[in-house]
Chain A
Amino acid sequence: MGKRILWVLILLLSFTLVTGVQAADKVYVNGIDANFPPFAYVDKNGNPDGFDVKALDWIANEMGFKVTHKPMDWDGIIPSLMAKKIDIIASGMSITEKRAEQVNFSIPYWKIAQVLVAKNDCGLSVDQILSNGNKIGVQRGTSEAKWMKDNLIKKGKDFSLVEYDSAPLSVEDVVNGRIVAAAMDDAPAKDAARKKPVKIVGGFGMASEDFGYAIRKEDTELLSTIDEGLKRLMASPYWEELIEKYEP
């Protein structure tokens, strides 16, 4: 009986192998967090869109390679890169020391500030928001979440963090009044302010960060291709078009 079970398992495995293995062609896969407008999201038709998506499309075209964009869970996006499930992360990723231990980053292409978002009728200042045991929302696994824990809470600031799957979800809870404010990059904050009754209160002391594309350490050739592509993109008029269109 045991032998039979083994055979069934082997059969199943080989079946899924045959159907599951993808042909190895030269299409690079870009992992995006599709919950991060305006840098990465899916449009009405379900196609990947956003500042980073269009930027990488341009670079691919310019440098002569193919790229597809694959929505990924942010929590698993670096493991996915390491495990070669994707080849690049162009999705509003801040360059941090911690991440740089695992992956290589391209040249920075966007400077981003971290801000607090609160309801339009909120009269509190940044200092007032980050006190009184207030609840502050933040996306799990982001650099701002880590920074606020290490530099504000551990140093005695009297507020607590509520972690969300995405920045837009934390904005929803700001509107609901469940949390006083949400911390996020200024670009999605602007996006939220356009769509919801919320405003940007201001920065909270975290140094501005640079966005870069993440690439596996061993893929040095891809890294230099991307760097060259980014340089050309930023020097081209299309760069201004992108900024105008997506208002990051």
Chain B
Amino acid sequence: MIESLTVLYGALPYLFRGTLVTIALVAGAMGLGLVVGVNLAVGQVYGNRWLRKAIGIYIWFFRGVPLLVLLFLFYFGLFSLLGINLSAFTVAIIVLGLITAAYQSQIFRGAILSLPEGQLKAARALGMSDRKAIVLIILPQALRLSIPGWSNEYSIVLKDSAVAYALGVMEMMARAHFVASRTYEHLPLYFSAGLIFLILTYLGTKGLRVLEEKVRIPGYSR
């Protein structure tokens, strides 16, 4: 028991550095997912037939192929073939980001479709281009509605981020594994790793709830 705690205590700084890597991975992926996801959603709702079809294929692909396969495909395949030498960390962010973009796009799409049709009409009637109407009128409302779904997606990406070790990204879970291999204290280390994930989930969802409350439209009951 004492021995386990000593090992754990000694490993904490190493695990925390890994936690920062995990946070960076998740933040990067969620950010990329947001930008790409919003564009996918807008394209899917307002785009022409071909764009909608292309986005449909994108979503089908990134939701259907397992994360590990996509990581290998991009890291060893696509970027190598293109002669682009990206770090494992960057590739992990891109792949996690493109996958969550597919899921996030469906959150945003649902939110956009739930808005009354008249919002876009009123914006157009004032002489706004579709682009302006979407950026100024549709998205600010749709994004507010998307926060609960987005929060859900955050906890999924957080857990998925551990798979990035397959490319050698030294995130938190991989580090817990290394320390366990050296010290044979598997259980305490995995327990700690689980605890760190729980705390990150809590902090993230809590933060998003605060944000949701902060941007809530007064008088609007939801």
Binding site for B on A (CB under 8 A): 1-2, 4-5, 8-9, 12, 16-17, 19-22, 31, 34-37, 41-46, 70-73, 75-76, 79-80, 82-85, 165-166, 168-169, 171-172, 192, 195-196
Contacts and interface: CB of A to CB of B under 8 A. Distances in A.
A50 B130 CA distance: 61
Contacts of A165: 177
B29 interface: no
Given A1-B46, A12-B35, A21-B85, 13 more contacts: A2-B47, A16-B86, A19-B90, A34-B178, A36-B181, A42-B14, A44-B10, A45-B14, A79-B76, A83-B76, A172-B186, A195-B183, A196-B184
Contacts of B174: 71
B180 A168 contact: yes
A163 to B, nearest CB: 15
A4 B46 CA distance: 13
B84 interface: yes
Main secondary structure of the interface of B (DSSP, over half): helix
Interface of B: 10-11, 13-14, 17, 32, 35-36, 39-40, 42-43, 46-48, 51, 54, 72, 75-76, 80, 84-88, 90, 93-94, 130-131, 165-168, 170, 174-175, 177-184, 186
A73 B86 CA distance: 18
Most chain A beta-carbon contacts within 10 A, residue among B17, B72, B131 = B72
A165 B10 CA distance: 24
23 contacts: A1-B42, A1-B46, A1-B51, A2-B43, A5-B40, A5-B43, A16-B93, A17-B84, A17-B86, A20-B86, A21-B84, A31-B168, A35-B181, A37-B182, A41-B178, A42-B14, A46-B13, A73-B166, A80-B76, A83-B76, A84-B80, A85-B75, A172-B184
Contacts of B130: 1
Contacts of A84: 80, 85
Given A1-B47, A75-B166, A79-B72, A34 B80 contact: no
